[in-house]
Amino acid sequence: MSHFESPLREPLITGSKTYKQITDDIVRGTEGSLGITWLLSTGVAGLVALFGVFCLTWTILYGIGTWGVNTTVGWAWDITNFVWWVGIGHAGTLISAILLLFRQKWRTGVNRAAEAMTIFAVVCAGLFVMLHTGRPWDVFYILPYPNTRGPLWTNFNSPLLWDVFAISTYLTVSLLFWYTGLVPDFATIRDRSKAGSIRWKIYNILSFGWVGSAKHWERFESLALILAGLATPLVLSVHTIVSFDFATSVIPGWHTTILPPYFVAGAIFSGFAMVLTLMIVARKVMNLQDYITIAHIESMNKILLLTGTMVGTAYLTELFVAWYSGSMIEQYAFANRAFGPYLWAYWIMMSCNLIFPQFFWVKKLRRNIAFTFFASIIVNIGMWFERFVIIVLSLHRDYLPSSWTDYQPTWVEVGIYVGTGGIFMTLFLLFSRFFPVVAIAEVKSILSISGNQARREQMDEVKSDEAYQDVDARLIYKID
């Protein structure tokens, strides 16, 4: 892993850590008593999750009639939430796969948590795929398995079917990727615990008998690369396919070719925002500031700025294309978004996703934790509204004015959404307590080149060099 890195780069691990300290810092979170804060927050999250389960049960018992959807607006919060959760799940693969291939070292600090978040988000998204149907008990019809129903087979023309394949593939690959990375770290935890104790046994099973031999590491590295290669197209394909649900339809506002790139950018946008929200809390609560540094946050903010601007460009392009197409219904669909009965939703979307990220042009704000936290939440609100705008605002005004309606959610729909938040948080809290939140092995791998002590040494080496005479060393060391 060693290569030359400019000493000017900000260190990715601060606090002059040793390898032992890294292990201690990260594994500490999984050891000791559970702690009142964790118990309380998990309890609250669990209750919210239970309420979600209650609302889901209510839906199954009474029917989708308990939701606010109607004949004209057949999808609303259900698919909005589905797309939103899938979008959130995008940061994980991007960080673990694409950033790995692009050798972005800063990913090591956040990839573990981002991957976990991906999996939990996809689980929540999957719930909506199953339960937005009228007969969830028959949902297995969607799988093309050999059956006794003669010529009845799934419809391979349907984007919804592609969705099922895309999401399940994504979940599988993400899970593998995540778990593979966890194996050496589980072994670390195992090795720190009392041999033969229950804890030891559990982590022994989880680590698949990892001993850290060179052969293990070689295979580990190869597998990581292969999975990264496999996962990379998924980053693009999953949300592309989700966007096909809309793009291949005939509803004005859905039927646009710009949707795939726009959805992928939006997914990365919201995924990073969610990683930021979680990591800003986690680094503080779990004392991981040395591993998830301001540099990490700034990098992610740069991605927010980039993808936010891409999404915003897509919004404006849609408006332009609607005007340029000359299509009456297309023009109306966008006029209705911006100036119709739900214009507030459109302008929330516009301001949260296009306008707000522009603040990140300012370096000070990029490095401001409070502002970043606020922005990350704003972005996720904006991205939720983006999906709401696309789904509800396109459906409620389509071809025949006679079928135009409005839509209002019921407590059941809101409950399910809030409940998936609870499920997500419960899973994440369990993860943060029992799994190493930062990839120990990977962080260690960059300590010698990106740790702040390494930077100091590199700086000392080059200090005599004339070319670096003017460098303000304070910039480099101030983080210490």
List Cβ neighbours of 294 (8 Å cut-off, separation of 6 or more).
367, 369, 479
Q: Quick one: 25 or 163, whose CB is closer to another protein?
A: 163
Where does residue 36 rank: exposed (0-12), middle (13-18), buried (19+ CB within 10 A)?
exposed
Q: Considering only 35-43, 150-158, 175-183, 211-219, which stretch makes contact with another protein by CB under 8 A?
A: 150-158
Q: Which of 152, 195, 198, 214 lies at the binding interface for another protein (CB under 8 A)?
A: 152
**Count of chain residues binding another protein (CB under 8 A):** 59
Task: Decide: is 331 part of the binding site for another protein (CB under 8 A).
Answer: yes
Residue type, 283: R
Q: Which of 51, 374, 404, 468 lies at the binding interface for another protein (CB under 8 A)?
A: 404
Nearest to 268 by CA among 99, 101, 437: 99
Q: Quick one: 115 or 398, whose CB is closer to another protein?
A: 398
Task: Decide: is 75 part of the binding site for another protein (CB under 8 A).
Answer: yes
Q: Quick one: 46 or 68, whose CB is closer to another protein?
A: 68
Task: Decide: is 361 part of the binding site for another protein (CB under 8 A).
Answer: no
CB of 398 to another protein, least distance (A): 6
Task: Decide: is 71 part of the binding site for another protein (CB under 8 A).
Answer: yes
Task: Decide: is 169 part of the binding site for another protein (CB under 8 A).
Answer: no
CB atoms within 10 A of CB 466: 7
d(CA 91, CA 109): 14
Residues 421-460 as x/- pattern, contact with another protein by CB under 8 A: ----------------------------------------
d(CA 266, CA 105): 24
Yes or no: say if 64 and 70 are a contact pair by the CB < 8 Å rule. Answer: no
Task: Decide: is 139 part of the binding site for another protein (CB under 8 A).
Answer: yes
Q: Which of 160, 306, 310, 479 lies at the binding interface for another protein (CB under 8 A)?
A: 160
Q: Quick one: 196 or 326, whose CB is closer to another protein?
A: 326
Q: Which of 23, 336, 432, 450 lies at the binding interface for another protein (CB under 8 A)?
A: 336
Task: Decide: is 250 part of the binding site for another protein (CB under 8 A).
Answer: yes
CB of 72 to another protein, least distance (A): 5
Q: How far is CA 229 from its chain centroid?
A: 19
CB of 239 to another protein, least distance (A): 18
> Phi and psi dihedrals of 451, rounded to 5?
-70, 155
d(CA 52, CA 107): 33
Task: Decide: is 134 part of the binding site for another protein (CB under 8 A).
Answer: yes
Task: Decide: is 405 part of the binding site for another protein (CB under 8 A).
Answer: yes
Does residue 12 sit in helix, strand or coil? coil
Angle at alpha carbon of residue 269, lines to 380 and 375, rounded to 5°: 50
Task: Decide: is 112 part of the binding site for another protein (CB under 8 A).
Answer: no
d(CA 4, CA 21): 24
Task: Decide: is 131 part of the binding site for another protein (CB under 8 A).
Answer: no
d(CA 144, CA 304): 38
Q: Which of 16, 66, 237, 313 lies at the binding interface for another protein (CB under 8 A)?
A: 66
d(CA 369, CA 293): 10
Yes or no: say if 292 and 14 are a contact pair by the CB < 8 Å rule. Answer: no
CB of 413 to another protein, least distance (A): 13
Length of the chain, please?
480
Q: Quick one: 17 or 397, whose CB is closer to another protein?
A: 397
Task: Decide: is 340 part of the binding site for another protein (CB under 8 A).
Answer: yes
Does residue 469 sit in helix, strand or coil? coil
Nearest to 423 by CA among 48, 77, 112, 59: 48
Task: Decide: is 390 part of the binding site for another protein (CB under 8 A).
Answer: no
CB of 121 to another protein, least distance (A): 21
Helices 369-388 and 77-88, axial angle in degrees (round to 10): 140
Yes or no: say if 52 and 414 are a contact pair by the CB < 8 Å rule. Answer: no
Q: Quick one: 84 or 334, whose CB is closer to another protein?
A: 334
Task: Decide: is 62 part of the binding site for another protein (CB under 8 A).
Answer: yes
Task: Decide: is 208 part of the binding site for another protein (CB under 8 A).
Answer: no
d(CA 244, CA 254): 9
Binding footprint of another protein on the chain (CB under 8 A): 61-66, 68-72, 74-75, 132-136, 138-139, 141-142, 152-155, 157-161, 164, 245, 248-251, 323, 328, 331-332, 334-336, 338-341, 343, 395, 398-406
